[in-house]
Structure 1
Amino acid sequence: MTTTLTTPTTTGPSRARRVAALARGETRLLLRNRTAVVNSVLLPLLLVAAVPAMDLGGDVPLGPQLLSTAVGVTLVFLTYYNLVSTYVARREDLVLQRMRTGELTAPEVLLGTAVPSLLISLGQVVVVAVGVAVLGEWSAPVEYLLPLVAVLLGTAVMTVLAAASTLFTRTPESAQITTLPLMVATTSLSGLLYPISSFPDWLSTVARLLPVTPVIELLQLGLAGRTWDGEVVDAGGAWAAAPLPLAVLAGWLVIGGVAARGFRWAPRR
């Protein structure tokens, strides 16, 4: 069973109330999962605790480097993976199908279900930012808007990719396998573990087209004024280098959105 994600026709406040109500229910379900809660709290704390020992290479200062890594990690492991597992679990339990028979529209169901994971992702980044400041590694961003744009677009991209990934994910357990290719590619080639400039030219080109790489590029441009190849720029130079990563994110948003139109609301038989 497939359903096209149609545009809601109801008023904005009504949509917001329905999404908020669904998000509260999903949050209660998440809080009952002690393992998920503990992992969500420990990951940023361990990341901040590892600051003195971290040396990821490249010329980006440690503070911006750590914040970029924190955003990339949360997008891949929380936003993307958690949402694939959550969407599939709700589908297989017939929860999504029941919700679609009521007033909730398709986008409202997907957004309301995603809210807890998105809030945890945001909370982790905030905790890491506070930890970086406490440890004295914080520095004023070169351009404040670019990091915000990077986080918002990156979250939107990983959310629609999660919805699209449910098309070939039959069970919550199988999400560990179906999400693996994207997770491995993005964590190893997006600049989280190694600077992109250290790759061969052809691999650098491929890496810059992955969905998380432009997020890291925009973060490092805004936070540290560093381009992907290590060039130091001011605010104007940061915006001059931003069109390509912005275009890549826009492309992935379109691709993911088109693929997610085939989202299944009922279990696969």
Structure 2
Amino acid sequence: MTTLPAPAGPSSLRRIGALATAETRLLARNRTAVVNSVLMPLLLVGFVAVVGGDGMLGVDLLVAAAGFTLVFLTYYNLVTTYVARREDLVLQRMRTGELTDAEVLAGTAAPTLLVTAVQIGLVAVGVAVLGRWTAPVDLLLPVLAVLLGAVVMVVLATASTVFTRTPESAQITTLPVVMGATALSGLFFPLSVLPEGLATVARLLPLTPVVELLQLGVAGRTWNGEVVAGAELWWAALAPLGVLLAWTAIAGFATARWFRWAPRR
């Protein structure tokens, strides 16, 4: 007898795409989530622009857009999404099918990451239309900043669900990142005005290296205001890149070790 090979199932990308499509529909039906995801970060960027006055450069607007979007949209929204799916037993049910753990987490995060990319892109277009665009000193660094920043915010979100019991309690459990890391990220004031010890601590927070890389790539400006180019530019980028990779490893380990797929009963 000839044994027929088992039919091949859908690829990993197709499985993630199917889950991402379903999550996108759920996001679109939740008006509160849509408002918080789309309008709130843009309002915050607008506030920064007003405070900055006429001297606010397009560079600063782009950096603010990326920073606020990664924290308030990617990180906070994913914490509430993961916790809500866990408490509704959705994550537990999805693990019983063909999806792997990584595919479940990636598919759930995909719509939020798409909105993040579109939002930053729209701000860039708006800056260009307003005539406040300046060509990046190094295009690769801003791309790396956004990509690595998004990865860090996703793994931080999954790690934050460990001590977040309900979607409502995320308003409290996310404060260290939403308020603390954002306040000391360099978005509101240059870190060079802080005492040396506090500035060093601030540079080790998860959002600060994203801001540093964006400023380096777009304006060629370091965290303390020094203008660099060429090899010095990438030498200055090594420290923030290392911090982002370290946060990815730490939060990834915490997720693998303590992430809960089912509610605590």
Q: Which has the higher contact order (CA 8 A, sep 6+)?
A: 1
Paired residue type of 1:84: V
Query: Is it true that 1:21 corresponds to 2:18 in the alignment?
Result: yes
Which residues of 2 match residues 147-158 of structure 1 at below 5 A? 147-158=142-153
Which residues of 2 match residues 119-268 of structure 1 at below 5 A? 119-261=114-256, 262-268=258-264
Shift of 1:185: 1.1
Paired residue type of 1:172: P
SS at match of 2:137: coil
Shift of 1:236: 2.8
Paired residue type of 1:40: S
SS at match of 1:242: helix
Aligned to 2:103: 108
Give TM-score scaled by structure 1 length: 0.90
Question: Per-residue displacement from partner, 1:198-233 (whole Å, max 9, x unpaired)?
Answer: 111111000000011000000000000000010111
Paired residue type of 1:42: L
Aligned to 2:4: none
SS at match of 1:268: coil
Question: Per-residue displacement from partner, 1:157-214 (whole Å, max 9, x unpaired)?
Answer: 1100100111101111111111112211111000111111111111100000001100
CA distance 1:12–1:64, shift in 2 (3 Å): farther
Paired residue type of 1:32: R
Q: Is the 8 A contact 2:149 2:210 kept in 1?
A: yes
Aligned to 1:81: 76
**Equivalences, count:** 256
Shift of 1:62: 1.4
Q: Aligned to 1:35, which of 32, 36, 40?
A: 32
Q: Is the 8 A contact 1:72 1:215 kept in 2?
A: yes
Q: Is the 8 A contact 2:145 2:210 kept in 1?
A: yes
The RMSD of aligned alpha carbons is 1.9
After TM superposition, the structure 1 stretch with the greater mean CA deviation from structure 2, 46-55 or 135-144, is 46-55
CA distance 1:84–1:209, shift in 2 (3 Å): same
Paired residue type of 1:35: T
Shift of 1:47: 5.4
Shift of 1:127: 1.1
Q: Is the 8 A contact 2:89 2:263 kept in 1?
A: yes
Shift of 1:126: 0.8
Paired residue type of 1:105: T
Paired residue type of 1:142: V
Identity of aligned residues (%): 67
The runs of 5 or more residues in structure 2 that have no matched partner are 1-7
Paired residue type of 2:71: V
Aligned to 1:63: 58
Larger radius of gyration: 2
Question: Per-residue displacement from partner, 1:131-155 (whole Å, max 9, x unpaired)?
Answer: 1111111000000100001111110
Q: Is the 8 A contact 2:45 2:64 kept in 1?
A: no
Paired residue type of 2:250: I
4+ residue stretches of structure 1 with deviation over 4 A?
A: 47-52
Measure the CA separation in 2 of the matches of 1:156 and 1:20: 18
Shift of 1:71: 0.7
CA distance 1:99–1:266, shift in 2 (3 Å): same
